[in-house]
Amino acid sequence: MAKITASVYTSHVPAIGAALDLGKTQEPYWQPVFQGYDFGKQWLKDNKPDVIFLVFNDHATAFSLEMIPTFAIGTAAEYTPADEGWGPRPVPKVIGHPELAAHIAQSVIQQDFDLTIVNKMDVDHGLTVPLSLMCGQPEAWPCPVIPFAVNVVQYPVPSGRRCFELGKAIRKAVESFDKPLNVQIWGTGGMSHQLQGPRAGLINKEFDNMFLDRLISDPEGLASVPHIDYVREAGSEGIELVMWLIARGAMSDVAGGPAPTVKNRFYHVPASNTAVGHLILENN
């Protein structure tokens, strides 16, 4: 049986990818951001999974605004880093896990979540920047990755509650796979940021830290926060945080197991227009 052993949470910001790719990680502006991931990089080496189930959002890159699935699972053998306007990032291609992905699609759809099946997709900064933050600049990513895209760009977006329930279904799906795989689930995006309109530049440290606190110790309650509260408190792009609830819903305490161990917690403002948050939770 496959098992989810840990969840990792991290923001994504295109400028973080650019800083890494252009050799700027030691510049005073970026050094504290990357330093916040030193622990995580070592932890990932020490706790290398067989597969990463990576919950992220596409930014009108692969799907454009012509077709917008609410939830989409990548079942392909590989994924190419997307060209977001400056050429594709110089990062390894992403190797998928079609067998586990197809099993999860089967199981989750039979648990009544409508997933879009994606057999071809270029992956943008939403997926590659979290991998870069946790892995640095390797020749190849450490393991296969199943990309799971969530629409948080074009309204209406899914609620935190639905995301949390989906996480529970993903845990059941993984645990019903008949090979002994060590799977990590990553929830990415957020934290507070707004890129548009009169409130562009909005950051809310209080909300973000409340979110981190409750994600750890009251995920069920946090899941009932309505979408309008994210927009009001964390900015229009702060809604990316609902993706963290998918990863949290897949942890074993939610299904009655013991509470997870907090291996790392990091928060830093700013990176570009965004508050960077990062958590690692291990199942017990």
Give yes or no for a contact between 11 and 178, defined as CB atoms under 8 angstroms apart: no
| Residue 169 vs 234, nearer CB to ligand DHB | 234
* Annotated active-site residue in 12, 59, 103, 193: 193
Minimum CB separation of residue 151 from ligand DHB in Å reads 13
Minimum CB separation of residue 127 from ligand DHB in Å reads 11
| Residue 166 vs 239, nearer CB to ligand DHB | 239
List residues binding ligand DHB (CB under 6 A). 12-15, 59, 193, 195, 237, 272-274
Minimum CB separation of residue 202 from ligand DHB in Å reads 11
Give the separation between CA 130 and CA 133, rounded to whole angstroms: 5
| Residue 105 vs 245, nearer CB to ligand DHB | 245
* Annotated active-site residue in 59, 103, 125, 278: 125
Minimum CB separation of residue 99 from ligand DHB in Å reads 31
* Residue 125 is among the residues annotated as catalytic for this protein: yes
C-alpha dihedral, 48 to 30 to 59 to 132, nearest 10°: -20
| Residue 48 vs 199, nearer CB to ligand DHB | 199
CA distances from 275 to 34, 232, 252 (A): 13, 15, 28
Which element (helix H / strand E) includes 273?
Answer: none
**Cβ-based neighbours of 224, under 8 Å, separated by 6 or more:** 160, 161
The helix, strand and coil proportions of the chain, stated in percent and rounded to the nearest 5, come to 35, 25, 40
| Residue 187 vs 260, nearer CB to ligand DHB | 187
Minimum CB separation of residue 111 from ligand DHB in Å reads 29
Give yes or no for a contact between 276 and 21, defined as CB atoms under 8 angstroms apart: no
Give the separation between CA 57 and CA 148, rounded to whole angstroms: 8
Please list the active-site residues.
Answer: 125, 193
